[in-house]
Structure 1
Amino acid sequence: MVDVDKKVSTGHGGRLRIPRSRGALGGLAVLLLGIWGALIPFVGPYFNFSYTPDEPWVWSAARGWLQVLPGVVAIIGGLLMLMSRNRLVASFGGWLAVAAGVWFVIGPFLAALLRLGDIGEPIATSDLKRALLQLTFFYGLGALILFFAASSLGRLSVRSTRDIAFAERTQGVGTDQYPDQRRVVDEEVVPADGAHSATQRLNPTDVRHRPV
């Protein structure tokens, strides 16, 4: 029984089971940043905080490719990191977040080369606001997503004692998982005189009740 318990607790399924809290913080941060990245080009004009064109809810190819797409990918990755109890699924969400963060950073540089459209110009009257717009729309946003995604991937790559305990609880390692192996069988006992027969439930491991 000890060997069986050890095999289950250290088996493939046990290694993949993690508590949701393992990627919760990074997943939540990535989720919120993804929502920001996907929506800010459309709602920013309400607050005089946008790139051209300075109109709310105006769709363009550049906004779709460079902001909505990575934002949605980050949202999906954040949800997987936040909700999954499987190490592989949560790690996949982390790598989706990494891809989204990288694209937020390098996308504006590749827009012209890949013919993705014109991202426009930051609507700013000072260098400080211009820098703030560039950071919050693209470069800083992507860096933050990368930071939280990489931190979560680092945590997901390590199997702690807490993960082992969680896997044992969820897999039911112990007496609940392995019921009593003693089998009770029906055995017909015929008295020596042959007058009648009786059926008794005997435990084969208990030699005291075996018929002679």
Structure 2
Amino acid sequence: MEGVTRIDQRLFQKVIDMAGMMRVPRSRGAISGLLLMLLGAWGALIPFIGPYWHYAYAPDNTWDYTTGRLLLEILPGAGAFLGGLLTLGSANRLAAMFGGWLAAVSGAWFVLGMPLSSIWGSPTVGGPVGGTTRQAVEYLGFFGGLGAVIVFFAALALGRFAVLGVREAEWAAGPVAGEPYDERATAPTMTGRPGYDATEGTGATAARTGRADGRGHRLHWPGHHRHVAAR
């Protein structure tokens, strides 16, 4: 029974460690998530509001809904917006990375959707309006450039969430089950080392170096017993 209990404790501790590794600060994906939300909203709304200033793909009419706009602009824009929202607000690593991947796929569809729809014969949108320069700008703002920027910020967010930071490592380490938690063991201090206690003065230095202080006490790291050295 004692061996089974030890195995259960180890498994329980591993579950706690994994849960700690899944936690991330909400601020980690704040900038990327916000930008992905703005870009997704732009991609989904620009076909409807762009014609107000003659920045559009045919049909050049405001709030004109078509199946091609749904498949090539509204859905990927909504996907990028939702992915950015998950990246921005989630404190769970898996959920945030799912949002990053959703945004990346949506951005890729902005780039590849139109040429693939022409090949497959599926519903598509009309051509860009205006002169050559305006058409190039419209392509960048509606599809190619927009999708590339979304993929870039999604990849940036995925890279940040793939890294295990110091704070997450401390969360994952945590206290061992059944043992009291010592804040000095993990709290950052001005010395840059764990376990520093400013109230001990030179005693803390002696604890780190292993030397005895003036009273003959040989000090050790926090968590160990203090012994009296023979004078």
TM-score w.r.t. length of structure 1: 0.73
Q: Name which of 76, 79, 85 aligns with 1:73.
A: 79
How far did residue 129 of structure 1 move? 1.2
Contact 2:72 2:124 in 1 (8 A): no
Corresponding residue for residue 226 of structure 2: none
Corresponding residue for residue 141 of structure 2: 136
Secondary structure at the aligned position of 2:163 is classed as coil
Q: Name which of 49, 58, 62 aligns with 1:43.
A: 49
The residue identity in structure 1 corresponding to 2:18 is H
Contact 1:26 1:81 in 2 (8 A): yes
Corresponding residue for residue 56 of structure 1: 62
Q: Distance in 2 between matches of 1:9 and 1:162?
A: 18
Q: Distance in 2 between matches of 1:10 and 1:23?
A: 24
Q: Which has the higher contact order (CA 8 A, sep 6+)?
A: 1
1:25 aligns with 2:31: yes
Corresponding residue for residue 85 of structure 1: 91
Q: Name which of 109, 120, 126 aligns with 1:120.
A: 126
Contact 2:44 2:76 in 1 (8 A): yes
Contact 1:26 1:152 in 2 (8 A): yes
How many residue pairs are counted as aligned between the two chains? Answer: 170
Corresponding residue for residue 107 of structure 2: 101
The residue identity in structure 1 corresponding to 2:80 is A
Contact 1:61 1:116 in 2 (8 A): no
1:69-89 per-position Cα deviation (integer Å, ceiling 9, x unaligned): 100111110100000000000
Contact 1:9 1:164 in 2 (8 A): no
Corresponding residue for residue 209 of structure 1: none
Q: Distance in 2 between matches of 1:136 and 1:68?
A: 14
1:1-28 per-position Cα deviation (integer Å, ceiling 9, x unaligned): xxx9xx5797000100000111111111
Question: Aligned-pair RMSD on alpha carbons?
Answer: 2.5
The residue identity in structure 1 corresponding to 2:92 is N
1:64-107 per-position Cα deviation (integer Å, ceiling 9, x unaligned): 00000100111110100000000000000000011001000000
Q: Distance in 1 between matches of 2:95 and 2:76?
A: 19
Q: Distance in 2 between matches of 1:158 and 1:9?
A: 20
1:12 aligns with 2:55: no
How far did residue 178 of structure 1 move? 6.2
Q: Distance in 1 between matches of 2:70 and 2:51?
A: 17
The residue identity in structure 2 corresponding to 1:83 is G
Q: Please, which runs of 5 or more residues in structure 2 have no aligned partner?
A: 1-9, 182-231
Contact 1:8 1:14 in 2 (8 A): no
The residue identity in structure 2 corresponding to 1:47 is W
Q: Distance in 1 between matches of 2:179 and 2:77?
A: 47
Q: Distance in 1 between matches of 2:168 and 2:137?
A: 41
The residue identity in structure 2 corresponding to 1:137 is F
Q: Please, which runs of 5 or more residues in structure 1 have no aligned partner?
A: 181-212
Contact 1:77 1:92 in 2 (8 A): yes
